[in-house]
Amino acid sequence: MYSRVIKIAIFIFLIPIIFGAGFGYALVNYLEIPDVKILETYKPKSATRLYADDGSLFAEIFVEKRIPIPITQMPEHLKNAFIAIEDVRFYKHFGIDLRGIGRAMFRNIFKGHITEGASTITQQLARNLYLTRQKSFKRKIEEAILAVQIERTYSKDEILNMYLNLIYLGEGAYGVEAASYTYFHKKASELTLEESATLAAMTKSPSRLSPFKNITKAKERRDIVLQKMYEAGFIDKNAYLKALKTPIVLAPYKAYEKKTGYFIEYIKQMLEEYVEEPQDIYTKGFNINTTLNMKMTEFAYEAIEKGIEGFKARNPKKTVLPEVALIAIEVKTGDIKVLIGGKDFASSPYNRATQAKRQPGSAFKPIIYLAAIEQGYTPDYMLLDAPISFTNPYTKTVWNPRNYKNEYHGSVTMRKALELSLNTATVRLLEKIGLDNVIDLAQRLNIKSKFEPNLSLALGSTEVIPLELAAAYATFARGGLYIEPVAIKRLSTTEGELIYEHEREEKRVVSEENAQMLIDIMKGVIKNGTARAASKLPFYLAGKTGTTNDFKDAWFVGFSPNLLCLVWVGYDKAENLGGRESGSTAALPIWIDFMSKALPLYPNEDFVQPEKEEF
């Protein structure tokens, strides 16, 4: 009898154990619970940040716009705003808020439908890191188990830090730092109470509650967050009432992307030299200090817009407007301050400043005249400016280069020929000095075009990339020293590890004396020649207009001792711009408008004067 009782007792005791073990084994095999320890090595995709030359953030490159920051850089009111609206008992529960679950169940039953959830911040973190958003009983069990495991492994502040860096807050922004830049263009540490509440308000529906899309709904939800903060004792009554009266003031919606799109795309191309994999640009969260000047970029777009309006007024029958490229380079450093490859990046992201190859027309002539100077020709050397023709001995075709408006000046100095951009005089000069010498100089100036050895080179028949031509002119401006145009000054990781830092390299490709002699001639282009309209500017300037024979390309490239600017106007399909749309008509006004605003940012210095020979 006694042994039978013992057997029954053992049986009764073992049944729950056996059943529980079996249920637990089945549950473990049914559920998919990852190891929460992987959080210690987890690195979310982070946005790469681009900074202008004054240190201000102007763009981000990302798949997921995320900028991880430590919780110590988050103000208390920011943390409290999320806790108040999402999980007011965050610091009191163990990952699952049983009291919150009971309260939510009661309210949902009372109202007859689901109006309130009970997921804690820890549960939301578990869901975002490991699980899908599929609503199922299995997923809820997995979420609860993971939440408890996370709480056992990490401190509350560590959990909150991970949550605030991972949560999606609309407009492609993940985490509070990225959202802070997106909506307010400031760091999370600089957010006001009202701004923090605005971010926390978007957790319920980031797209619908984006203040960019529905400012009224966003403010209603923000005020609910403020109320929750007041009820939780996070803010006092005065702060609460003052915050309620404060309107939501947003940064311009993606305004920087419109103005800097071409420069950003150029940066992406440059970055591929320094990162291991191209996709790292979008996911590893680099910090990039660039050479871009935002103020000059604004000046450039204003000038381009005004130039396009002028073109429309001169050509009212044109239904399609030409494209415009504008490049500004700081002469002494090689820094690219402005790089615009078209009139509208959103409608046409093709970068004409760095990718298009176009005939430079007369803008190529300074290279020919510099080659002549290197051969010992002086600015006073006499050239014949008169009709000329050449017959191809093989095809018998005749080439008759002509001057603009078919005007000829007879015997002129080399200086005068460049000032007035005389074609026939330049062809004769090219014939004298030799094609090979000009091509060699162009290559020394790092123009990488394939030059055909024929005399049409005098008229700029070989296509060039605008940025390469701008760099060649900058070489003239700095006295014969070539500096490769630079856009990236410094590249580092989010942890502060330096990957690349630019060190300026100068290479002498032209003697200083010869470069100064060419500049002296090019100053005359503005004082007495085809760019006289620029002489009204109170600065020391030199430059050259460029027009192709068929008016398909209009150029002006000009510089001071401190700043160079190139402007190109034309159609992508090389269509005729219209009669008389020369470099001085189409491109020069844009250049003048831009430089009149940009040049005052630098000292008004004169060029180094060439030494005159003593006899």
pLDDT in tens, 402-427: 998 889 999 999 999 999 999 999 99
Whether 86 is a known active-site residue: answer: yes
Statement: residue 199 has pLDDT above 60: yes
What's 585's DSSP letter?
A: I
If you search the block for the tokens 């966003």, which residue do you land on? 218
Which whole number is the average pLDDT over 71-84? 96
Q: Write down the pLDDT at residue 478.
A: 97
Tens of pLDDT, residue by residue over 329-340, are 999 999 999 999
Say if residues 127 and 134 touch (Cβ distance below 8 Å): no
Residue 171 annotated to the active site = no
pLDDT value, residue 322:
97
Rounded distance between C-alpha atoms, residue 179 and residue 65, angstroms: 8
Distance CA(612)–CA(229), nearest Å, equals 78
Quote the percentage of the chain above a pLDDT of 90.
63
What is the distance between the alpha carbons of residues 19 and 106, in angstroms, rounded to a whole number? Answer: 32
* Better-predicted residue by pLDDT, 131 or 591: 591
Confidence grade of residue 137 (pLDDT, cut at 50, 70, 90): low
In order, the DSSP letters of 354-369 are TT--B--GGGGHHHHH
The whole-angstrom separation of Cα 582 and Cα 553 is 8
Are the CB atoms for 351 and 572 separated by under 8 Å? no
Extract the tokens encoding 550: 């068929």
What's the rounded mean pLDDT across residues 540-554? 94
Phi/psi at 110 (5° precision): -65, -40
Residue 586 has pLDDT above 90, yes or no: yes
Predicted structure pTM score = 0.76
Strand arrangement, sheet containing 542-547: 336-340, 323-330, 563-570, 553-559, 542-547
Q: What is the pLDDT of residue 615?
A: 36
Q: Find out whether 44 and 22 touch, Cβ atoms under 8 Å.
A: no
357 neighbors 463 (Cβ within 8 angstroms): yes
Q: Which of 86, 195, 323, 468 is catalytic?
A: 86
Confidence grade of residue 438 (pLDDT, cut at 50, 70, 90): very high
Give yes or no for residue 43 having a pLDDT over 70: no
Residue 315: is its pLDDT beyond 80?
Answer: yes
pLDDT digits (tens, 9 = 90+) for 356-382: 999 999 999 999 999 999 999 999 999
CA distance 154 to 79: 17
The percentage of residues in the chain with a pLDDT greater than 70, rounded to a whole number, is 86
- Alpha-carbon distance of 88 to 101, in angstroms, equals 13
pLDDT at 108 over 60: no
DSSP string, 140-208: HHHHHHHHHHHHHHS-HHHHHHHHHHH-B-STTEESHHHHHHHHHSS-GGG--HHHHHHHHGGGS-TTT
> Which residue of the set 119, 196, 210, 362 is catalytic?
362
Contact, 307 vs 322, CB < 8 A? no
pLDDT at 614 over 50: no
Model confidence at 600: pLDDT above 50: yes
Better-predicted residue by pLDDT, 281 or 113: 281
Structure tokens at 465: 């990339």
> Which token pair is 144?
């609860």
pLDDT number for residue 21:
37
CB 305 within 8 A of CB 283: no
Euclidean distance between CA atoms 26 and 282, whole angstroms = 42
Distance from C-alpha of 438 to C-alpha of 444, rounded to nearest angstrom: 10
pLDDT value of residue 88: 92
Q: Is the pLDDT of residue 277 over 80?
A: no
Burial class (CB in 10 A: 0-12, 13-18, 19+), 273: exposed
CB 44 within 8 A of CB 64: yes
Tell me what pLDDT residue 135 has.
55
Rounded to the nearest integer, the mean pLDDT of the chain is 87
